[in-house]
Chain A
C-alpha cells in the first residue's frame, strides 16, 4: 500500500469540499480512485463510466505519464506518487 497525492481539478472540487489535493492509499491508480470515491460521494462517477473505465474527457496522469500509456487503472502507484486528474475544459460558452 502506497501513499499518494491526488490533485483535484477545479470542476470536481465541489465533491471534495473545495480541497485541491487529497492524500490516498492504494497499490494502483484504480485503488486510489476507489478510495477517493468512497470518501467523496459522486466524485468517482465523474472520472469513470458505468463500466468502471476512464471517461474519454478525463485524463489521469501519474507523475507526467498518462495512465493510458502505462497499465491504465492497474498502473502501480509508488510511494509519494502524484496523481493528477485533468479534465477537458472548453471555455466561456455555456
Chain B
C-alpha cells in the first residue's frame, strides 16, 4: 500500500462522507458548502450558494465564511479526494461536524444538481487589484462587486475629478459622468481629470480619455447634458450610487430630490475656499435611515448671500481632499463595509488642518424624505434658488 493510499484510508476512517444529493439536502437545511478547488476549476462551474475558498487558504479564510463552529460543513473538491484532506484540516481547526462530498463536483454535476458559473477574476485583474485582494474586507468577492457596480458622477470638475480617478482605479466597472461643460485652462488648477491640451474639449470626452488611460477596463458612460428636472430620472436610473460633485445650489437640490425619489445613496461633497463638507444622504437606507440634503439645509441661501468659488476662489488641492473622501464613502457603500457618513457631516478646514464631525438627523417635517410624505415632484430649481430669501 502506498503512503498516499494509507493516508487516504486513515482519512476515510475519520471523515464522514456524503453523496452529492445528500449534500444538497444538507445545504438546503442550512449547512455550509465549501468548494475548495482552484480558481480555474471553479471558473468552469461551482454549486449554487457554495463558499469558494481555495484549499491553500482554507484555514486562513474559513472563519470569515463560517463563523459558527457548530454549523455542519460540507467540503467539496473535483472528485472527493482533496476534500478529505481539507475536511480533516477543518476538524482540526475545531469545526464539529465536517463531511466530505463523495464524487466531488464531478458527481454533483453528473447528478444534475444546481450549479452556477461564478464571475471570477482573470490573471490581469488579479494583478491590477492585488492590493485589494489581500484585504479580507474587499477580497475577490468585493472586487467582483466593485467591477459589477455602477456609479454616477454629477460633475467632472474639482470634486468629480479625484472621485472618478480613484473609483476607476479601484475597478468600479461602470462610471457615468454628467457634465455639459468644456475644459477651460482655469479649471486645471484643480480639475485633474483634464489636461492642458484639451482646452475646448468637452469634460465628458476628456474624462473618458483620462479614465481609459488609467484603467481601460472601466466603462465610461458620458452624458453631455445639463442635469434638469426633465432628464434627471432618465439619467439617474439604474445606478448604485450618485456622487454629487456639482457646483451650484439648483443642481444640488435636484440631485437630492431625485436620489430620495429613486432611493439612491447621495454622496455629497461641497467646497469653499479652504473649507469642505462631506456627508452621505440616504433616507431609504434599510435599518438606519439617514437625512437628506433638505433635512440639513431646508433652503438655499439667496443668490446675493451665496458667493461662489468662481468669485471667491478655492484652494486647488481642497476638492482633491473632499472628492477623494467622496470616493472613499462610495467604495464603502458599494462593498457594504465600515461606517458610512450617514447622519454625520464631516467638515474639513484646510488652514487649520482640522476635521470636525457634526450629527445630522432626519427632519420629521422634511418635504421630500419624511416618512409618509408623498414625493412632491420636481420643481423649477433655478426659480427655487433665485427666489430664496432665507
**A interface residues with partner B (beta carbon < 8 Å):** 9-11, 20, 46, 49, 55-57, 59, 61, 64-66, 69, 84, 86-94
Residue in A9, A66, A88 whose CB lies within 8 Å of B361: A66
Assess the B299–A90 pair: CB atoms within 8 A. Answer: no
**Closest 10 A-B residue pairs measured CB to CB?**
A91-B247, A92-B247, A89-B272, A56-B299, A93-B248, A88-B297, A56-B298, A57-B301, A92-B309, A93-B247
Stretch from B72-80, B344-352, B368-376 forming part of the interface with A:
B344-352
Complex interface: chain B residues within 8 A of A94 (CB):
308, 310-311
Complex interface: chain B residues within 8 A of A49 (CB):
390
User: How many angstroms from the CA of A93 to the CA of B311 in the assembled complex?
Assistant: 8
Q: Chain A: which residue is nearest B389 at the CB level?
A: A49
Knowing A86-B358, A87-B301, say if A92 contacts B308 (CB, 8 Å): yes
Residues of B295-347 at the interface with A, using a CB-CB cut-off of 8 Å, are 296-301, 305-312, 314, 345, 347
User: How many angstroms from the CA of A89 to the CA of B347 in the assembled complex?
Assistant: 12
Residues of B248-299 at the interface with A, using a CB-CB cut-off of 8 Å, are 248-249, 252, 270-275, 277, 296-299
Complex interface: chain A residues within 8 A of B297 (CB):
56-57, 59, 88
User: How many angstroms from the CA of A88 to the CA of B385 in the assembled complex?
Assistant: 12
Assess the A57–B314 pair: CB atoms within 8 A. Answer: no
Distance from B358 Cβ to chain A, minimum over Cβ atoms (Å):
5
User: How many angstroms from the CA of A11 to the CA of B272 in the assembled complex?
Assistant: 8
User: How many angstroms from the CA of A10 to the CA of B277 in the assembled complex?
Assistant: 13
Q: List 9 A-B contacts (CB under 8 A).
A: A10-B272, A10-B312, A57-B297, A66-B361, A86-B277, A90-B306, A91-B157, A91-B245, A92-B314
Residue in B305, B308, B356, B359 whose CB lies within 8 Å of A93: B308
User: How many angstroms from the CA of A92 to the CA of B269 in the assembled complex?
Assistant: 12
Q: Which of B159, B245, B358 lies at the interface centre, i.e. has the most chain A CB atoms within 10 A of its CB?
A: B358
Knowing A11-B272, A90-B248, say if A57 contacts B299 (CB, 8 Å): yes
**B interface residues with partner A (beta carbon < 8 Å):** 157-159, 245-249, 252, 270-275, 277, 296-301, 305-312, 314, 345, 347, 349, 351-352, 356-361, 388, 390
Complex interface: chain B residues within 8 A of A65 (CB):
358-359
Assess the A64–B308 pair: CB atoms within 8 A. Answer: no
Distance from A92 Cβ to chain B, minimum over Cβ atoms (Å):
4
Assess the A92–B158 pair: CB atoms within 8 A. Answer: yes
Assess the A56–B247 pair: CB atoms within 8 A. Answer: no
Assess the B359–A20 pair: CB atoms within 8 A. Answer: no
User: How many angstroms from the CA of A67 to the CA of B360 in the assembled complex?
Assistant: 11
Complex interface: chain A residues within 8 A of B272 (CB):
9-11, 89, 91
Complex interface: chain A residues within 8 A of B360 (CB):
66
Assess the B306–A59 pair: CB atoms within 8 A. Answer: no
Distance from A64 Cβ to chain B, minimum over Cβ atoms (Å):
5
Residue in B157, B307, B361 whose CB lies within 8 Å of A69: B361
Residue in B305, B309, B359 whose CB lies within 8 Å of A91: B309
Distance from B88 Cβ to chain A, minimum over Cβ atoms (Å):
53
Assess the A61–B358 pair: CB atoms within 8 A. Answer: yes
User: How many angstroms from the CA of A11 to the CA of B359 in the assembled complex?
Assistant: 22
Residue in A9, A57, A89, A92 whose CB lies within 8 Å of B388: A57
User: How many angstroms from the CA of A10 to the CA of B352 in the assembled complex?
Assistant: 12
Q: Which of B157, B159, B252, B272 lies at the interface centre, i.e. has the most chain A CB atoms within 10 A of its CB?
A: B272
Distance from A9 Cβ to chain B, minimum over Cβ atoms (Å):
6
Complex interface: chain A residues within 8 A of B271 (CB):
89, 91
Knowing A49-B390, A66-B359, say if A92 contacts B296 (CB, 8 Å): no
Q: Which of A11, A49, A90 lies at the interface centre, i.e. has the most chain B CB atoms within 10 A of its CB?
A: A90
Knowing A66-B358, A84-B347, A91-B159, say if A11 contacts B312 (CB, 8 Å): yes
